[in-house]
Amino acid sequence: MPMFLLLSGIAALLLLAILAVVFSGSRFATRLVYGAGLLLSLELLVVGGLHLLCDAPPLALSLPLGLPWIGAHFRLDALSAFFVVIVNLGAAAACLYGLGYGQHAEEPSRVRPFVPAFIAGMNLVLLTADAFTFLLSWEFMSLVSWALVVVEHRDPRTVRAGYTYALMASLGTFALLLAFGLLAGPNGSYGFAAMRAAQVSPSVGALVLGLVVIGAGSKAGLVPLHVWLPEAHPAAPSHVSALMSGVMTKVAVYAVIRIVFDLLGTPHWWWGIVLLVLGGASALMGVLYALFESDQKRVLAYSSIENIGFIFVALGLALAFRADGFQAAAALALTAALFHAFNHAILKELQFFGAGAVQHATGTRDMERLGGLIHRMPVTAFCILIGCVGIAALPPLNAFASEWLIFQAILLSPSLPQWGLKLLVPAVGALLALAVTLAAACFVRFFGMSFLGRPRSEAASCAEETDGFSLAAMLLLAGLAVVGGLLPGVVIDALGPISTSLVGRHMPVQASLPWLSIVPIAASRSSYNGLLVFIFIAASSGIVASAIHVFASRRIRRAPIWDCGYADTNPALQYSASSFSEPIRRVFGPILFLARTEVEMPPVGSVAPAKFKVHLEDLIWQRLYVPVTGIVMTIADRLNVFQFLTIRRYLSLVFLALVSLLLVLALWS
């Protein structure tokens, strides 16, 4: 029954996509599409959530679709159900937001049909249980999200982003195809059940791991496969950006967990290293990129890369612990990864919604042209503030709980027997700690430059608060972030069945603990209590605020600001986004970005302004992608000759190919 409900919900979403095309001219199209999308994703959310919370046994279903001799297999287990919850929670919020935001899009009819199709595609990926249907749904998801990226196709940057995305998505699917081919083995058993039962040799397993990291990692935005993400995610309309950054990256995480933890069999200890190193690099590079960026949505996209890095580090730890037989530690790391995926989905959607509201109100995403919005858009500012506090991993919000769990898992690493891991894991932990602090700086900058200070442009000074639906979506997510931070034990307990099925154990049951505490391993080691922290923070800040109010507010005098002798203080003289990140750029820029600064002083006696320019280079793009592109272009140039041969030469080529194949055959035996 749940399976039927889920699949019919997906079918209804696809139908809705068609209806959106049929009724594209109607005045009620936006209401219809997003309203129905909201209801359908709520239905999927409830079904998936009940399956997860009731700890129901896995359900399987085969349909005679797709390839005739394979059919389409679907399966709903705890892992799928959890990701169904993430996807549909995000989708429901995005649809609610879309009810308001979709009204004032430039060309809404280009967006509407693809949103339900995109949600349906992501859900399908989670439910499939054979390689063919999985890849088909995966490609469908990529294709539809590509269509959403290139909605504003008149902007050449969007077209470029779409092209990069299409390339990287094809690369990813190709890698996944090869990975499934290896997993299926010589008998070509493409069902997940058969793959689970089969044991692959260590070398094949390592190859599959590498291919999955390329295939799913490129979708998730793992460094160095992330290049498309900061281009493509911001190019889409904001509710779609939220879906792509908050939810689609989680579908990629699901693919990694499904293949590496579920299908691939016994791991080797060094497999964890791959995920640890890539995850650590993603976390650090992502947040550094985010710090030097002034486009709001790009900052958020880079921050997604950082958080995906965190999730991958936790997955790598889980893999290493599982390979060495530390089941409790593996359960902790895996639960932390899943919990963080859940939290990041909520927070990232919230922030993208806020950025969308700001973009609609001011017409710009450039932080250097915003400022002072807290007075014009107080509710949006409050929601984004919650999102920023959450994503910067400050207690008592949800992301703190999950990142704290990740660090707890890192602290267990000295018990690992391999010296490589013993040395690497603390190093990666240090990287993560650095990334967390930089993320805090990044979001202080994000919030401060956009919402505090004085407006830096005309548009920012006359912004209006956004509509009710958008606010409702943001308040809902902000509420969830707070609740998740106060009651982390509920989520952790819900994740128990997943880690039991994947690593053999689950974390200690948290519901029985007093005062809503959570303990990762045992209460004697460490514990965290979100409620107490919240009460402490609320009480202490309340006392301070009231003290200030009592002792200081009465003494407020309104007087002209001292203007340092300048009569007119231009808003451009405020602290700016790039000046905020200047100290950090001084530290990391010269090495990681080959940063150069140029100061051009006017000649003595001239009144022309001095000019200050900063050049940053994306080393990954320069050192990795540019050479690869060059090689491909060179080969293509060389092979171009074959377009212009005579008929006889083509025949000769065929002939030579045939003869050489026969020669191989003759020499082989």
- Interface with other proteins by CB under 8 A: which residues? 644-648, 651-652, 654-655, 658-659, 662-663, 665-666, 669
Comparing CB distances to other proteins, the nearer of 537 and 663 is: 663
Comparing CB distances to other proteins, the nearer of 26 and 652 is: 652
Q: Supply the DSSP symbol for 366.
A: B
Question: In whole angstroms, how close is the CB of 637 to other proteins at the nearest point?
Answer: 14
Question: In whole angstroms, how close is the CB of 188 to other proteins at the nearest point?
Answer: 24
Whether the bond between 396 and the residue before it is cis, its omega within 30 degrees of 0, is yes
CB atoms within 10 A of CB 539: 10
If phi > 0 it is left, if psi is from -120 to 50 it is alpha, else beta; for residue 347 that is alpha
Contact predicate 599/610, CB 8 Å: yes
Q: Supply the DSSP symbol for 191.
A: B
Please give the Cα distance from 23 to 113 (Å, whole number).
Answer: 10
Distance in angstroms between the alpha carbons of the first and the last residue of the chain: 56
Question: In whole angstroms, how close is the CB of 648 to other proteins at the nearest point?
Answer: 6
Comparing CB distances to other proteins, the nearer of 556 and 666 is: 666
Please give the Cα distance from 329 to 326 (Å, whole number).
Answer: 6
| Strand 517-518, strand 528-529: pairing | antiparallel
Question: In whole angstroms, how close is the CB of 456 to other proteins at the nearest point?
Answer: 57
Please give the Cα distance from 541 to 170 (Å, whole number).
Answer: 51
Question: In whole angstroms, how close is the CB of 338 to other proteins at the nearest point?
Answer: 54
Comparing CB distances to other proteins, the nearer of 54 and 651 is: 651
User: Would you state the structure tokens that stand for residue 660, as one six-digit string?
Assistant: 């050489």
Please give the Cα distance from 387 to 352 (Å, whole number).
Answer: 10
Question: In whole angstroms, how close is the CB of 640 to other proteins at the nearest point?
Answer: 10
Please give the Cα distance from 512 to 546 (Å, whole number).
Answer: 36
Amino acid 177 reads L
Comparing CB distances to other proteins, the nearer of 573 and 657 is: 657
Please give the Cα distance from 370 to 55 (Å, whole number).
Answer: 48
Question: In whole angstroms, how close is the CB of 644 to other proteins at the nearest point?
Answer: 5
Question: In whole angstroms, how close is the CB of 632 to other proteins at the nearest point?
Answer: 23
Please give the Cα distance from 633 to 73 (Å, whole number).
Answer: 41
Comparing CB distances to other proteins, the nearer of 430 and 659 is: 659
Comparing CB distances to other proteins, the nearer of 65 and 654 is: 654
Please give the Cα distance from 318 to 328 (Å, whole number).
Answer: 10
Comparing CB distances to other proteins, the nearer of 596 and 649 is: 649
Please give the Cα distance from 620 to 210 (Å, whole number).
Answer: 19
Question: In whole angstroms, how close is the CB of 638 to other proteins at the nearest point?
Answer: 15
Comparing CB distances to other proteins, the nearer of 621 and 655 is: 655
Question: In whole angstroms, how close is the CB of 639 to other proteins at the nearest point?
Answer: 15
Comparing CB distances to other proteins, the nearer of 423 and 663 is: 663
User: Would you state the structure tokens that stand for residue 489, as one six-digit string?
Assistant: 């034990």
Q: Which residue has the tokens 């991958």?
A: 312
Please give the Cα distance from 330 to 189 (Å, whole number).
Answer: 29
User: Would you state the structure tokens that stand for residue 619, as one six-digit string?
Assistant: 């080393």
φ, ψ of residue 510 to 5 degrees: the values are -95, -20
Question: In whole angstroms, how close is the CB of 661 to other proteins at the nearest point?
Answer: 9
Comparing CB distances to other proteins, the nearer of 608 and 667 is: 667
Comparing CB distances to other proteins, the nearer of 564 and 667 is: 667
Question: Who's near 230: CB < 8 A, 6+ residues apart?
Answer: 289, 293, 298, 301, 302, 305
Best CA proximity match to 241, nearest among 177, 304, 172, 324: 304
Question: In whole angstroms, how close is the CB of 649 to other proteins at the nearest point?
Answer: 9
Question: In whole angstroms, how close is the CB of 668 to other proteins at the nearest point?
Answer: 9
Comparing CB distances to other proteins, the nearer of 599 and 636 is: 636
If phi > 0 it is left, if psi is from -120 to 50 it is alpha, else beta; for residue 135 that is alpha
Question: In whole angstroms, how close is the CB of 660 to other proteins at the nearest point?
Answer: 10
User: Would you state the structure tokens that stand for residue 190, as one six-digit string?
Assistant: 């493409």
**Radius of gyration for the alpha carbons in the chain, expressed in angstroms and rounded:** 26
> What is the distance of C-alpha 383 from the center of its chain?
19
10 Å CB burial of residue 550 (0-12, 13-18, 19+) is exposed
Comparing CB distances to other proteins, the nearer of 547 and 645 is: 645
Please give the Cα distance from 664 to 669 (Å, whole number).
Answer: 9
